[in-house]
Amino acid sequence: MKVMKFGGTSVGSAAQIKKVASLITDGERNIVVLSAMAGTTNTLVEICDYLYKENVVAAKETINILRQKYDATIDELYSSEEMKNDVEGQIDEVFDLLHYLADYDFTSVDERQILAQGEIISTMLMHAYLREQGVDSVLLPTLEYVRTDEDGDPDIDFIKEKLNAMIAEAGNANLFVTQGYICTNVNGEIDNLKRGGSDYTASLIGAAVDADEIQIWTDIDGMHSNDPRYVNSTHPVESLSFEEAAELAYFGAKVLHPTCILPAKLNNIPVRILNTMQPEAKGTLIYNFPPHKTVKAVAAKDNISVIKVYSSRMFQAYDFLSQVFEVFEQLKTPIDLIATSEVGVSVTIDNRTHLHEIVDRLMNLGKVTVDDDMVIICVVGDLGWHNTGIEAKVVNAVSDIPVRMISYGGSNYNISILVRRQDKVLALDRINNALFSSPEP
């Protein structure tokens, strides 16, 4: 059994839905995870924003514009009037719900219910299309088997038990269609796995059914050597270890959601990134590969704040760092990069929710400064410290760009530097040229 996840652009039009239908009917046993059609989740977020601001008129206008998009898709997707009417009836139910939720006091429970509708619609459209084509498929409602616990983390045991029972109930069925991103939380409310979370759904499912492979089908032919949104000369990376892929996803390679590697890694299931627009392209295979002494790719993570605590009391004070870290622990704020000296420590965070409290508490330990709007640039590959010269190439590449922090040696897989937002594209470009323009980095 394999898991095939298709992102928003992959199912972004009637023509794309037809294309995906042909890819998933390959005669194998597949669980197909779909995102919402491209743009839908953003529109649902917009509707919720209007409702929070009590602008019901704008919310309803936006709901109606979204509806028109689906009417056009339905018209193009199905050939029989009967099927068009049937699907329009199902879409009516979704849009009646959106209008209903817009009419009453708006809460975060309503918001999450609205955000879930994109995936509910896309899977419904696909399921109906397969039916019209005479293909048997089973629609598995994710809300029944993906549940999160009191910490908001997926309840792995529940998912495994429930999903396998649902599959067993379907007998000899070969094709399953299900929603990415959405889940039920510990209070029984509709919830989600955060933006981009369909990749996570796919790997949770892969782990639960012990899939042969988890395929992430998207709009690009694999994990590229650098962010193609900012750098021109990027190339697809053929293979990555789980560790390398996890670093890249965490440090900004949008093609993979950061949470999606762990379930695959723990269960030793290969993950393949493939291009729906170019299915014959090799893509990227992520697996338990041994290190092979190469730099694989570069990624960038935006909206980083760096906090420096400077104190003469740090000198030989063995508890200084633990006191600093305790503040972040108390305020549940993860740290990404760290640099220390005898008299100061700098750390980066990407979650500014508790920044003011963090600074207040750190001021008890020393002088505190904060720089916002920074970017972590992360070079990933087999960077064990015996491989000489790579860190020099990275640092030389940015010799005329102000670098606020450097982190190397935390793992064998990454060198990270911290630069200002306005220097990001130049730094990515320079590092790209330094590492990938010659045959062997």
Residues 6+ apart with CB under 8 A from 283: 221, 222, 236, 272, 273, 274, 275
CB of 57 to ligand ASP, least distance (A): 25
Number of H helices, E strands in the chain: 15, 16
CB of 198 to ligand ASP, least distance (A): 3
Examine residue 12 and tell whether it contacts ligand ASP (CB under 6 A): no
CB of 423 to Mg ion, least distance (A): 26
Q: What is the number of other CB atoms lying within 10 angstroms of the CB of residue 418? A: 24
The site that binds ligand ADP (CB under 6 A) totals a number of residues, namely 19
- β-bridge partners, 244: none
CB of 118 to ligand ASP, least distance (A): 5
Interactions with ligand ASP, residue window 104-133 (CB under 6 A): 118
Part in contact with Mg ion (CB under 5 A); list of ranges 126-134, 190-198, 307-315, 320-328: 190-198
Examine residue 196 and tell whether it contacts Mg ion (CB under 5 A): yes
* CA-to-CA dists, residue 110 to 97, 104, 150, 265, angstroms: 10, 10, 20, 35
Part in contact with Mg ion (CB under 5 A); list of ranges 5-13, 120-128, 308-316, 425-433: 5-13
Examine residue 381 and tell whether it contacts ligand ADP (CB under 6 A): no
Interactions with ligand ADP, residue window 294-353 (CB under 6 A): 297, 299
* CA-to-CA dists, residue 8 to 77, 255, 266, 289, angstroms: 17, 12, 27, 30
> Shortest CA distance to 125 belongs to which of 44, 18, 279, 41?
18
Examine residue 279 and tell whether it contacts ligand ADP (CB under 6 A): no
Examine residue 376 and tell whether it contacts ligand ADP (CB under 6 A): no
* Lookup: tokens for 120: 């509910």
CB of 55 to ligand ASP, least distance (A): 22
The site that binds ligand ASP (CB under 6 A) totals a number of residues, namely 12
Interactions with ligand ASP, residue window 32-61 (CB under 6 A): 35-36, 41
* CA-to-CA dists, residue 174 to 1, 125, 159, 291, 413, angstroms: 9, 19, 20, 37, 39
- β-bridge partners, 378: 299, 416
Residues 6+ apart with CB under 8 A from 51: 59, 101, 102, 106, 110, 111
Chain residues that interact with Mg ion, rule: CB under 5 A: 7, 196
Chain residues that interact with ligand ASP, rule: CB under 6 A: 7-8, 35-36, 41, 118, 180-181, 195-198
Chain residues that interact with ligand ADP, rule: CB under 6 A: 7-10, 35, 196, 218-220, 223-224, 227-229, 253-255, 297, 299
